[in-house]
Structure formats: C-alpha cells, structure tokens
A and B are shown apart, each in its own frame.
Chain A
Amino acid sequence: MHLYYPFPDETAAITASQDIYDLNAPPRDERVTLYAFDWFPNSGNSTYVLAWEDEEQTFDTGDILDGITGLTEEEAIDAGYQLGEEHSGRANA
C-alpha cells in the first residue's frame, strides 16, 4: 500500500526521505543507501509528495510525517502529482 505525503518543495521531500531512513539504518558513513522513499513533483506547483510504502518492509517514520495528511494514489494524481516515473526522485545520491 502506498500513501503520498505532500511537502512544500523537493528539498523538504528529500530531507524527509533521508531523515526517515536515518531512523532505520546504521550511520551514514557505513552505508550507501540514503533515502527511504521516492518523491514526485506536482505538475501545477512546486510541491512534492513523498511516496510512503508499506509492502515488504516498513520503516519507522518517527514524528516526521506527523501532522501531514497522506493522499491515496488516486487523490495524489487528482491533485496533480506526477507519479509516473519519468520525473520522480533523483537519479542518484
């Protein structure tokens, strides 16, 4: 299952993805993986959604997503978020 959490801009979404993974992994200097979840842009404004997923592995999100209402996939698409992969996330660290 996926829920999409809006953030005001790409930097905020990336930071949240990093912070969530930091809660679930060894120190950064001991790993290559940096991000827990993908993030996707909005076609009509500068906001991004973080694509929280609960499939095979669930990450502790601490209080990072507290106060943010998650959108279903349909709601995210209706709100203009481009969940098609071509524009999602960053290619690399």
Chain B
Amino acid sequence: MISISNAISVGRPAIQSSAPSLLLDQYGDDITAAYSLRKLRNDYEGSAIRIRRFSDNTEQDIGFDSDGNLDTTAITSFVGSNSAAVVTWYEQSGQASTWNLVQATTSRQPRITDASGNVFTVNGKPAIDDTNSGQARLSFNTSFGQAPSNVTQPFHTFSVVQYPNTSDRMLFDGESGDVRISAYYGNVYRMYAGSSANTGTNQTNTQVLVDGSFNDTSSYLFQNNVSQGTSLNIGTNHMRFLYLMGKSRSFGETQEFLIYGADVTTNRSDIADNINTYYSIY
C-alpha cells in the first residue's frame, strides 16, 4: 500500500492512495497455485517468468511493470531481435513456492518471443506460445510430488488460452492422464479424472476463459462464463502432476492458469469477471 500524507498542514485533507486490489487480493481464499503474465496479488514480490534467449542461452527473470503487466520492455531489452523461450513460470499465490512450472529441456520450452524478438500476444496481452516449437512437444512439466500434497477433489481450474483446432488440445494434462481438460474432437470440451465427459462447444482461434470444477459426479465446465455442462461424471482422480498445455503435443497460447483447491462455486462468476476485466475476453 502506498500512503501519502501531508505532514505539513496546509489546510488540505490528507491524500491517501492504495494499490488496486488484484485478483488474489480479492479471491485468494482456497487458492492452491496461480500462474499469470499479470501480477495477481499486491504482496507478491517475485517475477512472472524466467526466460532464455537463444542468442547465448543466458537466462533472466522478467517481472512486472508498475501497472502489474508483464514487463515486455525488459524482455525486448534482454532478448533483442531473437527468439526467447520460457524456462520457468513462477507461482504467485505463495501457497507452495516449489510449484513453479519448470521446463529444463530446451526443445520443450514454449516461446515468449518470435525469431524477431516480438513478444507473442493474444488479444493485445502477452502470451506464452508453444506452436513454433519444432517437435511441437513444448509444454510445462512440473512434479507436484515436490509440493506438500496432491490437489484433491474438489478443485477448480481457470485457464485463459487460445488454441488453433480441436484435435484433443490439452489445456492441461496429468501423468498417465490423472486429470485434464482438453478441446476435443467434434468441437467439444473433454474433462477427465478417471472417466471422460464430453460437453459443450469449444471455440478455436480465439481467446477463451475456460473454468472447470472437478468434483466427481457433480463436475461442471464454463467457457467465457457460460455453462458448458453440469453434473458431469468425470471420476475421482486427483491432480498429482501438471503438464500445462499438454504433455505430448503442441497446444496454442496460454496467459493465465489458476488452481483453487476447493469448490469455489460461490465466487466462480466473480473470479471469471475479474479475469475478463483484465483480458477483455467476452
């Protein structure tokens, strides 16, 4: 909080200002892990991402500008007219700092800039892209076994993404298919936690907010704050591992991913509204 008071009385009222309340400042209860290219809570003092420039493979942390946006100026300064990949996507909630998303193999690292050094964007906001990735196998991998515990049902995920088609594009996946949401063949979404449930209608080549409640036979899915199905029977698997943007194929672009380790039905719409206010998705 920034507080400015006029210690010298000149007959004016004190001026007080405070940083705007960010997503997790308002809806931080029950958050388990949070990844974004914007700042999600005022007390977060870490960086957004760690990137590797292709010119000499040097890595550097990239933070936020004064408005809480990804510091793209720092990216351009560091990268120049070259490609840059994302090595780490830092976890912002502070609930489990070892849950940073890391990719240690160069050939799997998604990109933050194209070969000319231009930061990838979706709908005007920076995005992490895994479509220019050679083998098309770039995804984040992290072992949640490093974290204090698995993410057990009920839990709820929010994803700001864009994907080019629906050939089973994984918004996220788990080891041996623990849990996942994908844009599946036939323009449906598929939720899985031991059993598959195809539901709703997905949208390709456009930015979408997809949020899903993993809650056994009471699971449900929303796209752009519109229900895509309720009472979905998806099974009872827990999230033991997380492969953001899939484990085995390219996905598209991603900008934000949140995991709430509880049923957040009460606040679900408000969280979606906060995300939409920033990204102007729908």
Binding site for B on A (CB under 8 A): 2, 17, 21, 24-26, 30-38, 51, 53, 55-57, 59, 84-86, 88-89, 91-93
Q: Are B104 and A93 in contact (CB under 8 A)?
A: yes
Q: Are B104 and A33 in contact (CB under 8 A)?
A: yes
B29 CB within 8 Å of chain A = no
Q: Mark B226-255, 1 if CB is under 8 A from A, else 0.
A: 000000000000000101000111000000
Q: Mark B34-66, 1 if CB is under 8 A from A, else 0.
A: 000000000000000010101011110000000
User: Which partner residue on chain B sits nearest A89 by CB separation?
Assistant: B105
On whether A51 and B87 interact (CB within 8 A), knowing A2-B135, A56-B134, A57-B54, the answer reads no
Binding site for A on B (CB under 8 A): 50, 52, 54, 56-59, 83, 87-88, 102-109, 115, 132, 134-135, 137, 141-143, 175, 241, 243, 247-249
Compute how far the CA of A6 lies from the CA of B78 in the bound complex, rounded to whole angstroms. Answer: 37
A-B pairs under 8 A by CB, number = 88
Compute how far the CA of A91 lies from the CA of B244 in the bound complex, rounded to whole angstroms. Answer: 12
Q: Are B88 and A34 in contact (CB under 8 A)?
A: no
On whether A30 and B59 interact (CB within 8 A), knowing A53-B134, A56-B134, the answer reads yes
Supply 18 A–B pairs (Cβ within 8 Å), ascending by A: A30-B58, A31-B58, A32-B87, A32-B88, A33-B59, A33-B103, A33-B109, A35-B104, A37-B105, A38-B135, A53-B107, A84-B248, A85-B249, A86-B247, A91-B175, A91-B241, A92-B142, A93-B104
Q: Are A34 and B247 in contact (CB under 8 A)?
A: no
Known: A33-B105, A35-B105, A38-B135. 18 other contacts (CB 8 A): A24-B57, A26-B58, A31-B52, A31-B59, A33-B87, A34-B104, A34-B105, A36-B107, A38-B107, A38-B108, A53-B107, A53-B135, A57-B83, A85-B137, A85-B247, A85-B248, A91-B143, A92-B102
Distance of B99 from chain A, by nearest CB (Å): 12
Distance of B148 from chain A, by nearest CB (Å): 17
Distance of B130 from chain A, by nearest CB (Å): 13
Compute how far the CA of A6 lies from the CA of B77 in the bound complex, rounded to whole angstroms. Answer: 40
Q: Are B135 and A86 in contact (CB under 8 A)?
A: no
Distance of B167 from chain A, by nearest CB (Å): 15
- Which single member of A26, A32, A57 contacts B104 (CB below 8 Å)? A32
Q: Are A86 and B248 in contact (CB under 8 A)?
A: yes
